[in-house]
């Protein structure tokens, strides 16, 4: 049996899962408020990290712009 045929068989077996098994799996995963607190904290940390990264990118861009202006000024003096 080829690899593709085996994969198709696996997909068919997954799809043929009975409703009882799905219901059992849903019962295992219940809402846990403490997980929400962790998610909110991680989201806040990611937001802070993104803000810091953004500020660093802006600072580097400004420094690059200043260096470019200096370089263009020197280039113009050399051409005169």
35, part of any domain? no
Does residue 72 sit within a domain? yes
**Number of domains making up the chain:** 1
- For the stretch 21-56, pLDDT in tens is 655 555 666 778 888 899 999 999 999 999 999 999
For residue 16, being part of any structural domain is answered with no
**70-80: pLDDT as tens digits:** 999 988 888 86
In a domain, 65, yes or no: yes
Give the range of the structural domain holding residue 70, as residue numbers without chain letter.
54-80
**DSSP per-residue letters across 1-69:** --HHHHHHHHHHHHHT--HHHHHHHHHHS---HHHHHHHHHHHHHHHHHHHHHHHHHHHHHHHHHHHHH
Q: Is residue 31 in some structural domain? A: no
Flag whether 41 is in a domain: no
CA–CA gap between residue 75 and residue 6 (Å, rounded): 66
As a whole number of Å, the end-to-end CA separation of the chain is 77
In a domain, 59, yes or no: yes
Closest CA to 61 of 51, 53, 72: 53
């Amino acid at each position: 049996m080829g690899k593709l045929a085996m994969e198709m068989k696996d997909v068919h077996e997954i799809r043929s899962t009975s409703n009882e098994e799905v219901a059992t799996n849903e019962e295992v995963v219940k809402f846990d408020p403490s997980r929400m607190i962790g998610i909110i904290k991680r989201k806040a940390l990611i937001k802070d990290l993104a803000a810091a990264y953004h500020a660093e990118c802006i600072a580097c861009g400004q420094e690059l712009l200043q260096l470019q202006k200096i370089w263009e000024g020197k280039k113009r003096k050399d051409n005169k």
